[in-house]
Amino acid sequence: MSRYRGPKLRITRRLGTLPGLTQKQSKKKGRPGQHGKSNEDDNSKKTTEYGLRLEEKQKLKFNYGLTESQLYRYIKEARRRKGVTGLILLQLLEMRLDTICFTLGFAPTIASARQLINHGHITVNENVVSIPSFQCCINDVIGIKLKTTSKNLVENNLQNSKFIDLPSHLKFDKSKLQATITNYCDRNELLLNLDELLVIEYYSRR
């Protein structure tokens, strides 16, 4: 299954705010589709338990721009490691290079952060990395390639960034346009409103 490239606001109307997918807000209210309004009016129609788990999984998938096979690989890796599986899953996704670039404000969405990395504008420990799914580690230094176009592109995105406060696991030097990863992400500082336990339950039979 290929990565989603369809209408983004349609997804946010169904699943809620997904900061990694788009910063735009839809003017329309209610869920998309011909039954969207009728479902809102009729409170007796409740989403099934499977439907709730499916929606939480889709939130994760669309927000981080993952394919089904990629997300399942992260689930298996989170299960393999010791600790709380749901938290480990979120930490793995937050340590992806494209997610970190988005969190720092280098790009307005995770999709545009992916493009920034693909085009060779981002460095990790002073080495250019062009793989968006690159798994960063604690004490890694994320920077910009020493090139005028790269610097101008990132500075412009930083000026237009809507997120003022950086999470505590990232230390950013704005003068050098460099960030250091000091720890794993704190669950309470995530921008995405998600119940990760439902995602784990969704994949529990696989």
CA 183, CA 200: separation in Å to the nearest integer? Answer: 24
CATH homologous superfamily for the domain 96-183: RNA-binding S4 domain (3.10.290.10)
pLDDT digits (tens, 9 = 90+) for 125-154: 999 999 999 999 999 999 999 888 888 998
pLDDT digits (tens, 9 = 90+) for 153-206: 988 888 877 666 788 899 998 888 899 999 998 888 888 888 899 999 998 877
Q: What CATH number labels 8-92+192-202?
A: 1.10.1050.10
Give the rounded percent of residues in the chain with a pLDDT score beyond 90.
42
In this prediction, residue 32 carries a pLDDT of: 62
Higher pLDDT, 97 or 47: 97
Identify how many contiguous H helices and E strands the chain contains and give both numbers.
Answer: 9, 5
In this prediction, residue 6 carries a pLDDT of: 73
The overall average pLDDT reported for the chain is 84
Q: What is the pTM of this model?
A: 0.84
In this prediction, residue 182 carries a pLDDT of: 93
Task: Give the domain ranges of the chain.
Answer: 8-92+192-202, 96-183
129 neighbors 123 (Cβ within 8 angstroms)? yes
- Sequence-distant (6+) residues with CB within 8 A of 146 are none
Terminal Cα-to-Cα distance of the chain (whole angstroms): 18
Give the rounded percent of residues in the chain with a pLDDT score beyond 70.
85
pLDDT digits (tens, 9 = 90+) for 2-33: 566 777 777 777 887 787 777 766 666 766 66
